[in-house]
Amino acid sequence: MNTYDHELILVKKEFKIIPPGESVVTETLTAVLCNVHSAGQKEFYKGRQSGLKPEYEFTIHAFEYDGQQEVEFNGKRYSVIRTHSKDLEEIQLICGLKA
């Protein structure tokens, strides 16, 4: 049973080019409630192969996720390594720090 008793910040980045060719990054932060687990052994070894260190699996409501590639949890930024749909209502975000 998922209790959704932790806060996760979804970080959506948008890149815009403004004249004279400068790029500007804007971030939209969205707070959602989640369930947290440590990344499993399988995820740890898979992530190592791609240069990432999986640390957490966050479960959130699927309708809240819009393809964000970064999240913030307890004041740290993590990359979304991969996602996994548990069912139509929930999605898992496997996240870690860049190695």
In a domain, 72, yes or no: yes
- pLDDT per residue over 17-26, tens digit each? 888 878 888 9
Is there a contact between 39 and 80 (Cβ–Cβ < 8 Å)? no
In a domain, 90, yes or no: yes
Phi then psi for residue 50, to 5 deg, are: -105, 15
In a domain, 14, yes or no: yes
- pLDDT per residue over 51-92, tens digit each? 777 899 999 999 999 999 999 999 999 999 989 997 889 999
User: What is the CATH classification number for the domain harbouring 45?
Assistant: 2.40.10.270
In a domain, 1, yes or no: no
Cis peptide before 20 (omega within 30 of 0): yes
Chain CA centroid to CA 70, Å: 5
In a domain, 85, yes or no: yes
In a domain, 28, yes or no: yes
Containing structural domain, residue 81: 6-98
Give kind and range of the element (H or E) at residue 45: helix 41-49
Report how many domains make up the chain: 1
